[in-house]
Structure 1
Amino acid sequence: MLVHGWITYVGTVLIPARAFWDLDLYRWWMWQGLHQGVWPVLDGDWVYPAGAVVPMALPALVDAVGTRPYALAWSAMVALLNAVAVLVLLRRAGAGATGVRGVVEAPRHDPAVGAWWWLGFVLLLGPVAVGRLDAVVAPVVVVALTVALRHPAVASALLTAGAWVKVAPGALLLALVLVVRRPWRDLVLPAAAVCVVVVGAVAAGGGLGHLTSFLTEQGDRGLQLESVAATPWLVAGITSPDVRVVLNDAITTWEIAGPGTAGVAAALGLVLPVALALVTGLLAWVRLRAGDALDTAGFLARGALLLAVVLILANKVGSPQFVGWLAGPVVVGLARPGLAGLRSWRVPAVLVLVVAGLTQVVFPVAYDAITLQQAGPTLVLALRNVLLVVLAVVVARDLVRTGRADRSRAPGLSAAAA
């Protein structure tokens, strides 16, 4: 509570306009819906999936008029969701797996390690760990990955619901599908059921024509300043007048403009799905290589983390809250490290904490200086982006090593299972 209380104080008292600006936008949308009957998605195109209305509307039931009351209600909601996720983590992370393929040994870990790491992560990431829509999705991912090995259908439903709030959680299903015994029953049907509910609700409200608008609303945006792909231009802009930081007035986002940036921004629209496909191929190869000896706990958490990192690396949007996508897989990986043990998570866990801390320096601390292309703060952002690339390499390496180790253990495990 102290961590969430501090961030709430920063976002509602110390620097509300800088830290919690997005929350006032959420409040405005909900005020329009509650007081004027004009709702996102139902009455027009929107940048978010339809399910995002739900978490935005809940604090508005407390107060949709005042900026601070809405922000306080939002912060309380996020703290409650995180507390529920930690409770599930502590109670369920030690359970074995019955809905997955392969052999799972008795757990040898302390789930509290993941919970304490998460608190440190939230503190280091700062206001964006609470005051953005992604803060609602993070605990959903933690719960989904925690219960995935015993209840894959529940995990599928949760990740799909999370995807209807912020798209990223849906990509984690690519890792889960490789370990479940009955993908159709345990993954496809629950996900489809959630989609039917969401589509039905939007259709009933008359917004079916706007249901997929979130896929195209930001299609014309350029290369966002914080994106990993913008790093070469970001550094070059310190000394080169040909590279500028410009404000996209339509969506109030700072972008990098220079020779080739428009082409890179356009190409990333294709690169992102290709990158996800390549990661899925790597996961499938590791899964096949390990066979029945697959360490499902380690594989699922590492696979989810690699997918989350790639979603950031191959994205032309680089908003600081995206770093929150990394939390769930690491939390569950530390709470249930698998056969490789807790030590195998040390490097990625530390890397993600460093990335979180640097991200808070970038936003909200030094963001204005970065938009002015000042050298010191700009290099901090560049370092953060380099470490994201390093993280991807480390996690991919660990996945491959895990697959090899699982295969080498296969005879003994098979005999024990028999």
Structure 2
Amino acid sequence: MAHLIPVVWINRYGTSTGDVHYYFVGVNHFFPDTMTEYPVIGALPAHLVNLLPGGEDAYINWFIALCVATSAVFTAWLVYMDSSPSHRAAWFWIMFIGLSGPIVLTRLDLFPSLTVAAFAALLFARTRAARRAAAIVLAVATMMKLWPGVLGAALVGGFRRRSTWARIGWFFGSLVVICLLIAAVSGVDALTTPLNYQSDRGLQIESLAATPVMLAASFAAVGDTRWSISYAASKSFEIIGPGAGIMTTVATVATAAMVLFALGWAVTRLIRDDWSPMQALSFSLTMVALIIATNKVFSPQYITWLAPSVAVALLVSRRRIVAVLAVEVLVTALLTTFVYPVYYDWLMVVPTATQAVVILALRNVGILVIAGTALWWAVTAAREDVTAFPVTSGRRGSSRR
């Protein structure tokens, strides 16, 4: 039922389908260099939909239907795995779909995000084979959207444990195999182009780093040319003007610090030998929030990166902090919907509308709060029970000791 909210929204107002139009153009090669920013595996759902009958309008409907079906399968899995009467993980996901508006069903980001959730769930499996499969799934997610690669630090455990090196080996080995297959089928450029695209991006108006500049631009007088917002080659709206260069540098430094934090976490686990699936999941959620917070870009669909893994967290942990994290994600998702598509037109002009920028700022504060909550969970997760989620043994609780 919750899926009807974005579907009706899209059909009633015809909004948020620009990216799906772009996918249609890209997979049919109507123009050169379309969708070259997408990794080959990440674009597979767009190519799959193109095999179905009909023209562009049908393509959009098929794409939305694929997203609805995929989300429905995930919802059913959440219900199946949670034997508690509340089914809070499934209800969280349902509410997320409803509060996120049309964005979840009109972007490719749903698919790598669910793949990361599969990685998170497999970490809690009782067999070594399943945990090694988690490393393989994370490698696939990395080749779908790049950012999951940072989560490889979550696989690191004690230096002397063979399980540590098995997880790391399966992760990097899978990456190598996938890269070789892509290079053989699509050429080396298919591997390098998405990386080059990310490095060339400017300061997108929705990013955390852009927020002070957007606030300054909201106080500009009509006709003030110090700031300008335009659709850039990065296929997003970017702001230039006083403060933009500084904040771009801040975002770059913050991203580097985020990577160093991930490396520091991995080294700490090597030395302390205290790895657990719960630590890996909580750390992964922390990293996803930090990736979003430090990025020069914060497209509205990025909030989808968090939600599936939070749903898994609600299955495996009964701590209050996880419920708080889920509420924070829902609130941030709702604010994101107000940013896009509700107020987005008001953000693309100078002076930017004050109320739109305030909502944008609140949404961006929300992602910082999420990062802080996830980090607190990560540093306190070692004492949690990690045997309560038999992923490969039916319903949660069916084979508990």
Per the normalisation by structure 2, the TM-score is 0.83
> How far does residue 57 in structure 1 lie from its aligned partner after superposition?
0.4
How does 1:277-356 map onto structure 2 within 5 Å? Answer: 277-282=260-265, 285=268, 296-337=276-317, 341-356=318-333
Structure 2 Cα separation of the partners of residues 323 and 379 of structure 1? 18
Q: Deviations over 1:135-170 (max 9, x none)?
A: 122221222211222212222222221221212222
**Alpha carbons of 1:209 and 1:286: their partners in 2 closer, same or farther (altered >3 Å)?**
closer
Partner of 2:113: 138
Partner of 1:121: 96
Q: Number of matched residues? A: 374
> How far does residue 237 in structure 1 lie from its aligned partner after superposition?
1.5
Partner of 1:229: 209
List alignment gaps of at least 5 residues for structure 1: 95-108, 408-418
Secondary structure of the structure 2 residue equivalent to 1:247: strand
> How far does residue 284 in structure 1 lie from its aligned partner after superposition?
5.3
Aligned: 1:262 with 2:245: yes
How does 1:14-413 map onto structure 2 within 5 Å? Answer: 14-16=12-14, 18-32=15-29, 46-63=36-53, 66-91=55-80, 112-150=87-125, 151-178=130-157, 182-193=163-174, 195-205=176-186, 207-240=187-220, 241=224, 244-266=227-249, 268-282=251-265, 285=268, 296-337=276-317, 341-372=318-349, 373-403=352-382
Structure 2 Cα separation of the partners of residues 358 and 181 of structure 1? 45
Contact 2:283 2:378 in 1 (8 A): yes
Aligned-pair Cα RMSD in Å: 2.9
Structure 1 Cα separation of the partners of residues 296 and 190 of structure 2? 23
> How far does residue 313 in structure 1 lie from its aligned partner after superposition?
0.8
Question: Aligned residues: percent identity?
Answer: 27
**Alpha carbons of 1:284 and 1:357: their partners in 2 closer, same or farther (altered >3 Å)?**
farther
> How far does residue 406 in structure 1 lie from its aligned partner after superposition?
6.4
| Bigger mean CA offset, 157-166 vs 180-189 | 180-189
**Alpha carbons of 1:320 and 1:26: their partners in 2 closer, same or farther (altered >3 Å)?**
same
Secondary structure of the structure 2 residue equivalent to 1:229: coil
**Alpha carbons of 1:219 and 1:277: their partners in 2 closer, same or farther (altered >3 Å)?**
same
Contact 1:93 1:146 in 2 (8 A): no
**Alpha carbons of 1:86 and 1:157: their partners in 2 closer, same or farther (altered >3 Å)?**
farther
Structure 2 Cα separation of the partners of residues 191 and 73 of structure 1? 35
> How far does residue 126 in structure 1 lie from its aligned partner after superposition?
1.6
Partner of 2:7: 8
Per the normalisation by structure 1, the TM-score is 0.80
> How far does residue 287 in structure 1 lie from its aligned partner after superposition?
8.2
List alignment gaps of at least 5 residues for structure 2: 386-401
